[in-house]
Amino acid sequence: MKNITRLGVVGAMVLALCVCAGTASADEFTINFTGGGFNGNLDVDATLQGSGAYLVDSITGTVSGFPVTGLVATTTSTGYSYFSLPDGSYWFYDNLLFPAVSPAVDAGGILFTLAGLAQPVNLFSNGQGQFGIYVGGGNFPKDFFYTPVDVTVTAPEPSTLALGLFGMVSLLAGFAWKRFGNSAVLSGQNA
């Protein structure tokens, strides 16, 4: 009966790991930026797209003390998405992160919302890091405030999938050791 229970526990673990494997491919990064009177600390979950590019799936953090309230989702799977602003201007963005290069964002950047602001802000690059805020009330470019920022990215934590596999292998090794170790002791006592 104990073997059936053990197999049931191991089977449930394998099933849980398989169900979670799709989300386990997401990596976590911390993006810090500072400059022009702004400092930001952003924690992002991102999924590898290939060639060192990660698509940001979610974002939390603060910018100069204001909490980040969310990520503006992309509206297309290729190229840039567009977010229309009240005066007819727009943000173009792709929510891509390139942690191995500097400044780690491209011309589209990462579009997200801050508490207290009606319109989203953008962390992007035009050869160097830029933080942009829509201020409204004028024609482009007077309706935006841009400031250069230094952008750094902290490397991701080890993959959740790898940690899960290590735990499962350790558990299975413990079960095997207990089963075969006890058998060897019992057979040695019977001799």
pLDDT tens digits along 36-83: 999 999 999 999 999 899 999 999 999 999 999 999 999 998 889 999
For residue 114 the two structure tokens come to 């801050």
Identify the three-state secondary structure at position 98: coil
| pLDDT for res 68 | 98
**CA–CA distances in Å: residue 34 to residues 12, 99, 127, 174, 191:** 46, 17, 16, 49, 74
| C-beta of residue 146 within 8 angstroms of C-beta of residue 129 | no
Global pTM reads: 0.71
Mean of the per-residue pLDDT values of the chain: 83
Residues pairing with 111 in the sheet:
122
| C-beta of residue 109 within 8 angstroms of C-beta of residue 92 | no
Q: What is the pLDDT of residues 94-138, one digit of tens each?
A: 999 999 999 999 999 999 999 999 999 999 999 889 999 999 877
Q: pLDDT band at 22, cuts 50/70/90? A: very low
Phi/psi at 60 (nearest 5 deg)? -140, 170
| C-beta of residue 40 within 8 angstroms of C-beta of residue 64 | yes
Measured in whole angstroms, the distance separating CA 156 from the mean position of its chain's CA atoms is 9
Compute the residue count for the chain: 191
| pLDDT for res 137 | 77
Return the number of other C-beta atoms located less than 10 Å from residue 113's C-beta.
Answer: 18
Q: pLDDT band at 24, cuts 50/70/90? A: very low
